[in-house]
Structure 1
Amino acid sequence: MTASGVAAPTFTQFTRPSELPGVLRRELAACWATVVNSGGAVIPADCPLPPLTPADLEAAVDRIAEHLAPERGRLLAATLDGDLAGWLLLRREAHPLEAHCGVVNHVQTQVRLRGLGIGLALMRRVHHVAREEMGLERLKLTVRAGLGLEHFYRKAGWTEVGRWPGALRLAPGDDRDEILMSLAL
């Protein structure tokens, strides 16, 4: 149990495409669609504009699965009582000069479970996996300004290291900064 009286999530790590069952792929797509439709999460370039359905994201989930490999890409899923509560993707930078660094993408929690500590628990778990299992020394991620996400990541130990002003255009007249964040492991 967590301090709030909610059961702590269980984590499962997926390191190969064959490990990611079809049921979970559908759950990931459903979570992603819900998060996008609530105003969060990145929309893949080949998807229509919101509102999205899980079917709109199935190909993107399959692409993520195809790139899973123990040394370079892992998917972490958090479950509560056997149901998907959140997930993220961790990948090692491919270039030899950056191979000691990892990138965290697609940090998502079920909208109905927000505020229960699932996201923070995922951040703690990815820290452990990156350092202890993948031998990474630093993590990086980017977030969209205007949602307060940088405050969440600061609370989890991340540091803002820069911004790309107006890099993200959500709609005409709605340009947002892309915030660059880093975590030394």
Structure 2
Amino acid sequence: MTPFEVPVPTFTQFTRPSELTGPLRRELAACWAAVVNTGGAVIPPDCPLPPVTPADVATAVDRIAENLTPDHSMLLSATLDGALAGWLVLRREAHPLEAHCGVVNHVQTQVHLRGLGIGAALMHRVRHVAREEMGLDRLKLTARAGLGLEHFYRKAGWAEVGRWPGVLRLAPGDDRDEILMSIAL
């Protein structure tokens, strides 16, 4: 690949716990730990603050896997040459009044592959999957302020619809807004 070529990832959807094999779970946990350790916004609730190891996030990966169901929750992965390049979770809202909406969580790309368009490709693909395969009309997500994530999501067509000021405390004196974002499909 030349420096000007943009890699085209292969996407795979996982909708059942059994589909996330041990090796794939380890790849997901390794990606997640690397993202957390570089300031990523996806620290699992039962995980220590950084630095973390893949073992620290393995339980959270297992919890995601256990909640996969064909109609309500899927993990979407992007691979390059068979190796995990990025992933996210898409789930349908459970409440009947919101069943036309989905939530995107855990958007992550391998740290060494950042800037190659993997995240943008994932965000494009999740819109297609949500609309065409799950029949959703709208998606929502939250992003942590202070990382420039809102700019990434805006470029992908998402709109900021609100903020929870200072709700995320990363360390004493380091409180961040949680940015609420949405996109119509």
TM-score band, normalised by shorter chain: over 0.9
For structure 1, which runs of at least 5 residues remain unmatched after alignment? none
Amino acid at match of 2:55: A
Please give the alpha-carbon distance, in whole angstroms, between the structure 1 residues aligned to 2:184 and 2:20.
Answer: 29
The aligned runs of 1:77-156 (5 Å cut-off) are 77-156=77-156
SS at match of 2:160: strand
Which residue of structure 2 aligns with residue 56 of structure 1? 56
SS at match of 1:50: coil
Which residue of structure 2 aligns with residue 182 of structure 1? 182
Instruction: Quote the offset at 1:3 in angstroms.
Output: 10
Please give the alpha-carbon distance, in whole angstroms, between the structure 1 residues aligned to 2:78 and 2:59.
Answer: 21
Instruction: Spell out, residue by residue over 1:54-92, the C-alpha distance to the aligned partner (whole angstroms, 9 max, x if none).
Output: 011111000000000111000000000111000000000
Amino acid at match of 2:176: R
Amino acid at match of 1:158: W
Identical-residue share of aligned pairs (%):
83
- 2:41–2:143 CA contact under 8 A, matched in 1: no
Which residue of structure 2 aligns with residue 172 of structure 1? 172
Instruction: Quote the offset at 1:128 in angstroms.
Output: 0.5
The aligned runs of 1:5-20 (5 Å cut-off) are 5-20=5-20
Which residue of structure 2 aligns with residue 73 of structure 1? 73
Instruction: Spell out, residue by residue over 1:17-60, the C-alpha distance to the aligned partner (whole angstroms, 9 max, x if none).
Output: 01111100000000000000000132112111211110111110
- Backbone CA RMSD of aligned residues: 1.4
SS at match of 1:79: strand
Amino acid at match of 2:86: G
Amino acid at match of 1:105: N
Please give the alpha-carbon distance, in whole angstroms, between the structure 2 residues aligned to 1:47 and 1:80.
Answer: 28
Instruction: Quote the offset at 1:7 in angstroms.
Output: 2.4
- 1:88–1:106 CA contact under 8 A, matched in 2: yes
Q: Which moved more, 1:43-52 or 1:74-83?
A: 43-52
Which residue of structure 2 aligns with residue 26 of structure 1? 26
Q: Which moved more, 1:6-15 or 1:152-161?
A: 6-15
Please give the alpha-carbon distance, in whole angstroms, between the structure 1 residues aligned to 2:45 and 2:31.
Answer: 18
SS at match of 2:178: strand
Instruction: Quote the offset at 1:123 in angstroms.
Output: 0.3
TM-score (normalised: structure 2)? 0.97
Amino acid at match of 1:169: R
SS at match of 2:57: helix
Please give the alpha-carbon distance, in whole angstroms, between the structure 2 residues aligned to 1:154 and 1:126.
Answer: 15
Amino acid at match of 2:40: G
Instruction: Quote the offset at 1:4 in angstroms.
Output: 3.6
Please give the alpha-carbon distance, in whole angstroms, between the structure 2 residues aligned to 1:167 and 1:49.
Answer: 16
SS at match of 1:143: strand
Instruction: Spell out, residue by residue over 1:99-121, the C-alpha distance to the aligned partner (whole angstroms, 9 max, x if none).
Output: 00000000000000000000000
For structure 2, which runs of at least 5 residues remain unmatched after alignment? none
Counterparts in 2 of 1:6 and 1:98: CA distance versus 1, 3 Å: same
